Amino acid sequence: MLKGNMAASISVKHGLASSKTSQLYGLYGKILPKPVLIQGAAEIQNVRASTSARVDPQNNEKYCLDLVRSRDYEGFLTSLLLPVEARRSSLALRAFNVELAQVKDTVSQKTIGLMRMEFWKTAIEEIYRDEPPNQPVITELWRAVKTHNLTKRWLLRIIADREKDLDDRAYRNLQELEGYSENTQSSLIYLLLECLGVKNVHADHAASHVGKAHGIVTCLRATPYNSRRRKVYLPMDICMLHGASQEDFIRGSQEKKIRDVVYDIASQAHVHLQHARSFSNSVPAAANPAFLHTVVLEDYLQRVRRADFDVFHKSLQNRNPLLPIQLYIRSWKKTY
């Protein structure tokens, strides 16, 4: 169903920007795992909870970089491979996305989560009035909006669907999961395209499908973690089709019916990737960096296939050490 692994031996001849070998080594220095330098997880949550966080403006960029590196490592890697003029804005957008994504897991009551979301909605309005609150992610996001004239609708749409997701229930069907993925992940890619200066209908179509694939894969990848918390968010229609109950997932069952559910969901993510690539001949080359996350999605889908669609297989819990190289090569080839 899925494509095989890319060839292991490829000659790397170009660097991130204008230089070559030295830039490659610089990339390795950034992507190798290292401790986050500014704060521990608890402190980051405290900052997130505060609407009056104060950080020296010159450290705002570093704050976002460290937050994304610690909480969205793959997004961090793809941001490093963007053109230099879009890199900082990409990190700001991904830091914003991290803040919203973590609200659901860090609040004890829905009411508190709604208050957090209201804070972010108000912050977006203030950003577009040139009155951003003095908070590091918001300040960097304001800079990105001013630099690239980002569309407010996409930012508000991400918040709106993250807010709906606070209801903490399983998706009723695959279409509902795709809709959520479109409104969150695809909206983020639309913003990245704006950072790259791309306005193209074919690029938008590709972004829609890549975002849907991303959301579906994220739902699959999070299943072991959510199951340990006695939460199951996989589409109910597919679970019912195969006779799989939520309790089966909570128990970490490896029965065929569970693997059949995972197969159907993973297959739909693969279909979206194929649709996205069907536009590749019409998508401007400048848009390709916005779609680098396809490498991450492809990697997971290949690994879950090798695990015979056992979403709980231990091999799926480990980070692929070759991912940085695979991302770099795809970036160098200017394809997605």
Tokens linked to 248:
């089966």
Question: What CATH architecture applies to the domain 169-336?
Answer: Orthogonal Bundle (1.10)
pLDDT in tens, 82-114: 999 999 999 999 999 999 999 998 988 999 999
3-state secondary structure of 198: coil
The Cα–Cα gap between 254 and 308 comes to 10
pLDDT in tens, 167-224: 989 999 999 999 999 999 999 999 999 999 999 999 999 999 999 999 999 999 999 9
Closest by CA position to 95, among listed 29, 152, 140, 134: 140
Domain extent listing, the chain: 43-168, 169-336
Question: What's the distance, Cα to Cα, between the start and end of the chain in Å?
Answer: 18
Q: How far, in Å, are 21, 68, 77, 90, 116 from residue 194 at the CA level?
A: 29, 20, 19, 10, 26
DSSP per-residue letters across 90-102: HHHHHHHHHHHHH
User: Among positive and negative, which fits the CA dihedral 38, 43, 48, 54?
Assistant: negative
- Prediction pTM value: 0.83
Closest by CA position to 198, among listed 256, 285, 135: 285
Show Cβ contacts of residue 57 under 8 Å, excluding neighbours closer than 6 positions: 139
Residues of the chain short of pLDDT 70, as ranges, are: 1-58
The Cα–Cα gap between 26 and 78 comes to 15
